[in-house]
Amino acid sequence: MRRILLLSLLTVALVGAAPGQGTGKTQSDAEAPAQGTAKSQSAAEIEKEILKIESERDQAREKGDNATLNRILADDYFYIGVRGNVRTKANRLDDYEAGVIKVFSVKKDNFMFKIYGDTVLMTGRETSITQYRGKPNDKPRQFTNVYIKLDGQWRLVFHQATTIGAPW
Amino acid sequence: MKPRSKWSENTVRRVLLLPLLTVALVGVAQAQVTVRNQADAETEKEVLEVERQKDQAIRNRDMAVLDRIYVDNLAFANGRGKVLTKAQHMEEIRSGNVKYLNSDRSDFHVHVYGGTAVLTGRENSTVEYHGKTISSPRQFITVYVKLDGQWRYVAHQVTPVAEP
């Protein structure tokens, strides 16, 4: 009996180790099942959920609430700021911790969502009043957020902002 | 001779079983990471190849190739923060309002999340945009999503890099 149990356990374990199996998504099984901006109920629900997370993130930005930001930003989150600087999650949290970045008020609009299965592209315009290294910014900027569902939770994996109308 | 006890035999079996299971489970975890890494590396290669084809198509104004790579509801924001539809962006290329005079892109990073790949990089290409020559460095993101077995270009944004 014990031998049978042992054999079964080892078989299960070894089958799990076979190439192409396991939890690592392969390209074929990861193809996005939903696409476009179809306003199905599920798409509407996803948009609502993302907007709720965005609201929580914005409040956390204003308060410098790193615990909430840590929960929302994926571990490998990174962003491209309006100066074209590339920053990691750790950089960003340090900036809030040190008060290098301050968000005085948040104003965002013109949202658009494109949903591809567990990936949501959110674009919009931001006119929030912020301060980075003592330099205020109230210029309108266009942004892109990429949310991915990881372990059942929507996490922000990427953010980019571009000043609207700036000399190029 | 002292008879062997049932308890000690069971203990020995358990002691042997535990390391075996541990080794097997560690093997499972390692195999999963390896599979994921291999799949991600393959994705990175495929996405960079599509990106190369897209760049070549822009230079050659090959609208058929661009039409195949870009999704219809493309999210595109240029270096002035201007949002363009697929049709508007393609018209700028077709009309010659955007012309690549040379190609200089570097520092590519691909972050893979299953069927989504986030590509970032730096661009120093010289571009003529509505008659104005632009050669200042820009940081960009391009998001690719695998749809019907093809990597499609779904979003792009450019941010000029400010002087330090």
pLDDT, tens digit, 9 for 90 and up, residues B34-86: 666 888 999 999 999 999 999 999 999 999 999 999 999 999 999 999 999 99
Question: Does residue B87 sit within a domain?
Answer: yes
Question: Does residue B126 sit within a domain?
Answer: yes
Chain A nearest C-alpha distance from B62 (Å): 25
pLDDT, tens digit, 9 for 90 and up, residues B84-95: 999 999 999 999
Tell me: pLDDT of A3 over 80: no
- Among B71, B114, B162, the residue with its CB nearest the CB of A25 is B114
Residue B41, φ and ψ in degrees, nearest 5: -65, -40
Mean pLDDT score, A122-140: 95
- Among A80, A121, A157, the residue with its CB nearest the CB of B159 is A80
Mean pLDDT score, A104-111: 96
What pLDDT is attached to residue A15?
42
The pTM score is 0.79
- CB contact under 8 Å between B32 and A6, yes or no, is no
- Chain A from 109 to 128: CB within 8 A of any B CB: 112, 114, 116-119, 121, 123
Tell me: pLDDT of A136 over 70: yes
Q: How many residues does chain A have?
A: 168
What pLDDT is attached to residue B36?
67
Question: ipTM score here?
Answer: 0.79
What pLDDT is attached to residue B2?
55
Domains of chain A: 35-163 (3.10.450.50)
What pLDDT is attached to residue A116?
96
Separation CA A71–CA A86 (nearest Å) = 21
Separation CA B29–CA B19 (nearest Å) = 15
- Chain B from 59 to 118: CB within 8 A of any A CB: 71-73, 75, 77-83, 111, 113-116, 118
- Among A30, A146, A158, the residue with its CB nearest the CB of B146 is A30
Of residues A37, A89, A72, A79, the one with CA closest to residue A153? A72
- CB contact under 8 Å between A168 and B77, yes or no, is no
The domain total for chain B is 1
Tokens of B80: 């002035």
Report the CATH number that the domain containing residue B67 is assigned in CATH: 3.10.450.50
- CB contact under 8 Å between A142 and B157, yes or no, is yes
Question: Does residue B109 sit within a domain?
Answer: yes
Mean pLDDT score, B141-153: 98
In this structure, of A34-43, A104-113, B4-13, B127-136, the range with the lowest mean pLDDT score is A34-43
What pLDDT is attached to residue A52?
98
What pLDDT is attached to residue B14?
75
Question: Does residue B31 sit within a domain?
Answer: yes
For residue A62, what are the CA distances in angstroms to A109, A161, B12? 17, 18, 60
pLDDT, tens digit, 9 for 90 and up, residues A142-166: 999 999 999 999 999 999 999 999 7
Tell me: pLDDT of A48 over 80: yes
Helices marked H in A18-161: 41-63, 66-72, 89-98
Range of the domain at B132: 6-160
Query: Residue B87: in which H helix or E strand, if any?
Result: helix B86-95
Tell me: pLDDT of A31 over 60: no
Exposure class string for B67-78: b at 16+ Cβ within 10 A, else e: eebbbeebbbbb
What pLDDT is attached to residue B50?
98
Helix, strand or coil, per DSSP, at residue A105: strand
- CB contact under 8 Å between A17 and B21, yes or no, is no
Question: Does residue B128 sit within a domain?
Answer: yes
Contacts of B52 (CB under 8 A, 6+ apart): none
What pLDDT is attached to residue A92?
95
Mean pLDDT score, A58-82: 97
Separation CA A155–CA A126 (nearest Å) = 20
What pLDDT is attached to residue A6?
54
Question: Does residue B1 sit within a domain?
Answer: no
pLDDT, tens digit, 9 for 90 and up, residues B12-24: 677 778 777 777 7
Separation CA A108–CA B18 (nearest Å) = 56
What pLDDT is attached to residue B1?
52
User: Which residues in chain A have Cβ-Cβ distances shorter than 8 Å to B108?
Assistant: none
pLDDT, tens digit, 9 for 90 and up, residues A9-29: 555 444 444 333 333 333 333
Q: A117 near A34, Cβ under 8 Å?
A: yes
Tokens of B41: 């590396």
What pLDDT is attached to residue B17?
81
Residue A2, φ and ψ in degrees, nearest 5: -65, -40
Question: Does residue B12 sit within a domain?
Answer: yes
Mean pLDDT score, B122-132: 93
Average pLDDT, chain A: 83
- DSSP per-residue letters across B24-80: HHHHHHHHHHHHHHHHHHHHHHHHHHHHHHHHHHHHHT-HHHHHHHEEEEEEEE-TT
What pLDDT is attached to residue B105?
92
- CB contact under 8 Å between A82 and B143, yes or no, is no
Residue of A nearest to B13 (CA): A2
User: Which residues in chain B have Cβ-Cβ distances shorter than 8 Å to A27?
Assistant: 39, 42-43, 114-115, 146
Exposure class string for B132-157: b at 16+ Cβ within 10 A, else e: eebebebbbbbbbbbbeeebbbbbbb
B130 touches chain A (CB under 8 A): no
Chain B nearest C-alpha distance from A160 (Å): 8
